[in-house]
Structure 1
């Protein structure tokens, strides 16, 4: 591996890799606006010599892109996958006004880091995958495994009417119809600080609407106070979260719990006739989303003591389940994962640690179809979704080299 590493390191063109990352960051792709970046990636995949480059709509005006490189039928297959969309940039310009970072899409370089929306989450993952293939091309080394690449939209939450993994759902027919074989390893390019994440939580989001009856503040007896009922519900929800935490903890993911993320009520000088409570429920392996949904709704209803109060529940973020996303647990003993770790450590000996992903992403769609899934890229989760989003160029170069080593060696060892 040392000779391979040295040969690839000598062929690495940092300027070309940085230019690729900057082009991606320059292309705004807030959820719902994935068309331009899909077109950009389509051209890049063609330039890199990939086969079957396909850009297709998963919703009106919103596109995915995929490609392949087949080596031999008896070689293993690696999928490099990630999402093209980012969270919004509201507040970014105000935070960085008067500085060279005021434009969230400028990809400004400061002290060896590239700043901007989507740098860490997860344009660095896409750029690393493409630059690793570019590096193999420059070194004259063919990958030793069959390659699949897929970049999808609609992973992020937060924009109205989106954020339900519509892009990933639109990719699944290529596996379900047998157009593509199930990969022997899927590497999703979410930020991992060059470690290898093999697990993450599940979740569901619940919006609770409490309805009473508004009344003039001077005649409160004529109203039904939805905010008062909401207060009782909040107390019950926090107690439920404590009970969930006490019930047990997953060794990788930790305990389950729920977090109330928003409360809104009233707004007039009157008895509040409505109250809205939003929450997110963290699920750990072994918890059933439907069972936990019913448990939540029972707790909420039992907290209501006034028969004139009504309550409804909404679940806006159906992913690979009807109400949310399921947990991911990948067996770290899968040989391909060990080889990926070896490749990473040949470049950065202290990296390549097995750990859990801090959030949820779309690996469960693939694991449900039999593919081992890991998350890997040079980005750092601590910067995701923040006004401090940035990536280290040094880590980027290390990630490109590590991934190229893995792609060049995996099939040779397993063939």
Structure 2
């Protein structure tokens, strides 16, 4: 580890950092209840010397919170951002009944890991950024550039009527209008096991309704079989997925495809009148979401041979695009990538490599919407998030605190150097 890294490691207050995260997990913030966590964050941000801390509702009763640690004014501006909401906890208490993990917001430490809903997705990332700033203060390091912090709601999509990125839309609108300063680089604190995700997939969800005409089973010729048409559509979609996958491979996020996720239909001893199916399409950086959706619709409609059968297609998951979420990537040679990757590698050897996000989250609002480079990086393993196994390694979290503090010095510059 470098001299600065050793200085930061020596100054780290482990107990404070851990208490910060356990307190964050302790605030139930299932989507829609972000205010409960935002009040905690606003209090912690002010206590840790972040200035101009503000909150504002992006929807009634659902606030964002943001603030800035001002530097000397001679360095670059860095933004750490993450979402405050978590997925639900239904079944958690029953799953862990009688175990010390029974309370999803209890944040017990078991075998070197902190458990609880939101521990990985993504309260560890939020707390890593705040604890990193406190670490710089304890080490007596003053930054030249400004560091912004913004924590937004409505990222998760598990609750009815929510999950359309209303929080980040409100925040990026403030940046675009000039009400908030424009950062030079953004770190979104989704869990990556401290890899640096420089690219991410895009997606859209399509809900397809196929409608025919019902008829008594004894005279099927009087009906128009929606289930049979659905079979033809699914066969065409699977073939289309194979074609998509064969087209191209992105070195960080792999190949595109579509996945049929649900099928419902049929009638009671009758020709099925209606079938519905849903699918999700994975897009690669550079793919047009509009073109992909148009191509999909042509495949679906081309598979229905009976002109009396109707097909309706809806796209229920608009994010930074009306139909879904766009894919994103930044220049792999952007100097901040090397800075962040090296800072992480110094703090935790073997981590900090450039990878691609196998999920969709909100960096496209910056990368594609504002032309601001953004990456994902934080402690936590996405594979245990949204499950009863959600947890984060204490040592990975503390390494992240040191790494983020180191990165702040590299990107923003340090007074006196």
TM norm structure 2: 0.94
Deviation at 1:268, TM superposition (A): 4.5
Which residue number corresponds to residue 60 of structure 2?
60
- Mapped to 2, the partners of 1:102 and 1:308 lie a distance apart of 54
Which residue number corresponds to residue 312 of structure 1?
312
CA contact (8 A) 1:193 1:378 kept: yes
Deviation at 1:396, TM superposition (A): 0.5
Which residue number corresponds to residue 274 of structure 2?
274
Which residue number corresponds to residue 43 of structure 2?
43
Structure 2 unaligned spans of 5+: none
Alignment of 1:63-212 (within 5 A): 63-212=63-212
CA contact (8 A) 1:233 1:300 kept: yes
Which residue number corresponds to residue 247 of structure 2?
247
131-140 or 376-385, which deviates more: 131-140
- Tell me the SS of whatever aligns to 2:38: helix
Deviations 1:72-120 (A, max 9, x none): 3331010000111112223323332332222222212211111121111
- Mapped to 2, the partners of 1:12 and 1:97 lie a distance apart of 35
Deviation at 1:388, TM superposition (A): 1.4
Shift in alpha-carbon separation, 1:90–1:270, aligned structure 2, 3 A: farther
- Mapped to 2, the partners of 1:286 and 1:373 lie a distance apart of 16
CA contact (8 A) 2:348 2:396 kept: no
Deviations 1:336-363 (A, max 9, x none): 2222222212212211111111211111
- Tell me the SS of whatever aligns to 2:413: helix
Which residue number corresponds to residue 403 of structure 1?
404
Deviation at 1:141, TM superposition (A): 2.2
Which residue number corresponds to residue 393 of structure 1?
394
Which residue number corresponds to residue 363 of structure 2?
363
CA contact (8 A) 2:73 2:145 kept: no
Alignment of 1:212-361 (within 5 A): 212-217=212-217, 220-266=220-266, 268=268, 270-361=270-361
Which residue number corresponds to residue 377 of structure 2?
376
Shift in alpha-carbon separation, 1:22–1:217, aligned structure 2, 3 A: farther
TM norm structure 1: 0.95
- Tell me the SS of whatever aligns to 2:187: strand
Deviation at 1:218, TM superposition (A): 5.2
Shift in alpha-carbon separation, 1:142–1:285, aligned structure 2, 3 A: same
RMSD: 1.9
Shift in alpha-carbon separation, 1:267–1:191, aligned structure 2, 3 A: farther
Deviations 1:185-218 (A, max 9, x none): 1001011111111001111111111122344555
Deviation at 1:283, TM superposition (A): 0.7
- Mapped to 2, the partners of 1:70 and 1:189 lie a distance apart of 21
CA contact (8 A) 1:144 1:407 kept: no
- Mapped to 2, the partners of 1:119 and 1:268 lie a distance apart of 47
- Mapped to 1, the partners of 2:25 and 2:214 lie a distance apart of 48
Deviations 1:361-399 (A, max 9, x none): 111111131221111111112212222111100101100
CA contact (8 A) 1:226 1:273 kept: yes
- Mapped to 1, the partners of 2:208 and 2:30 lie a distance apart of 27
- Mapped to 2, the partners of 1:89 and 1:146 lie a distance apart of 37
The number of residues matched between the two structures is 415
CA contact (8 A) 1:192 1:375 kept: yes
Shift in alpha-carbon separation, 1:409–1:299, aligned structure 2, 3 A: closer
